[in-house]
Amino acid sequence: MKNQVTLFKNASIFMLDRIIDQGWILVNENGKIEEIGEGSPEVLTHDVIVDVQGKSIIPGLIDVHIHGGNGYSFLDGRYDSLAEISAFHAKHGTTAFLATTSTASKERIIKALTCAAESFEKGMPGADLVGVHLEGPFINEKRSGAQEKSDIRLPSINEIDEYMEASKNLIKLVTLAPEVKNGYEAVKYFNDLGVTVSIGHSDANFKEVIEAIQSGATHTTHHFNGMSPLHHREPGVAGAGLVLKELTTEIIADGIHVHPEMVKLLFEMKGVWNICAITDAVFCAGLPDGEYERVYVTDGQVYLSDGSTLAGSTLTMIQSLKNVISFTGYSLFDVLPSYTMVPARQAKIDHLKGSIEKGKDADFLIIDDEFSILSTYVKGLEVFKLS
């Protein structure tokens, strides 16, 4: 579908530093934001007018940790799977995402990365595929969670190079355990390649986290989950993420992976500009309760067959946003950075996405006062409309 010059008017527009109560946005034929204004729009050349009728326009939500949805997984290694994931999550507020692997054989990971590179060139029907999050296989078996233990491997520069080549350098974020053999070298190598390095599925102690930061780590994966816990004599990764300003922390705010009061604590201690909200959604996000391959879903909770190990989530970004507002008492304006600019920064796309600014991609949502999504726009094109 080709872009047209589109004027959005009569909108409450959520900017980085303020809300325009009655404003307008002009989107050009390249899907970029051309102009933003207040009040009645000037006489502007346009092809289409969208009257927002007083509803809110907020930046599109960016998910840097998403494995699948609607019955499909990134590790399927097929374009149609990624397209289904893209379309599903666009309905729920995601306008850009990092397709995320999990620990698997090298061959399976390479197949998925090759597919991501091809899909990136082809384009997505919904949320924009902007890169890859390599979660595993370089993790600690002690904190593997639902990751496949038999496929965990020590970091290898040769294997890293194979992954970068297969993805055509689309890997933007990597989760690893720095304390394992060759771990710090891998942190430095990924950092030198321009990849954001995240500490996750890690049993590192506080001192080892400091060494990882000195090697280039700047992020933690699904904070409080899959990591050495907070203890008064050993803070572990969980404690380090709370107190070290060098680390941006992911959070799965479904109220299942992390207690709502702990979510609130994280926001109070870190602040919205140091928290990256994620879904960690797996293939069964959007599917009804039931038994699926290796997992079962009950009340939206995903467990391995052992009945106790959480295996990702069925969370969506818009539901996460609603949850955090409820858990913390913060306003929509207050929490938006954790869903927009912070993930954009960590994925190294904040020059293109993450806020409603002149020159950036026209990725945004039209929502009502109850945070229901009326429309999702990606690069100026409507990819979802509530019927």
Q: Which sequence positions are flagged as catalytic? A: 280
Alpha carbons 38 and 34: distance in angstroms, whole number: 14
218: nearest Cα among 176, 167, 179, 272: 176
Alpha carbons 314 and 316: distance in angstroms, whole number: 7
Q: 108: buried, middle or exposed (CB in 10 Å: 19+, 13-18, 0-12)?
A: middle
Is residue 283 within 8 A of residue 73, CB to CB? The reply is yes
Q: For residue 296, what is the enclosing H or E element?
A: strand 295-298
Contacts of 338 (CB under 8 A, 6+ apart): 251, 267, 272, 273, 275, 276, 277, 324
Alpha carbons 261 and 267: distance in angstroms, whole number: 10
- Residue bearing tokens 């970029």: 32
Token pair in block for residue 141: 């078996």
Cα-to-chain-centroid distance, residue 268: 21
How many other CB atoms sit within 10 Å of the CB of residue 284?
Answer: 26
382 strand-pairing partners: 377
CA dihedral 241, 244, 247, 249 (to 10 degrees): 30
Is residue 64 within 8 A of residue 89, CB to CB? The reply is no
Token pair in block for residue 289: 């309760």
Please report which residue ranges of 123-205 form alpha helices under DSSP H.
157-166, 183-192
66 strand-pairing partners: 99, 281
Alpha carbons 60 and 27: distance in angstroms, whole number: 15
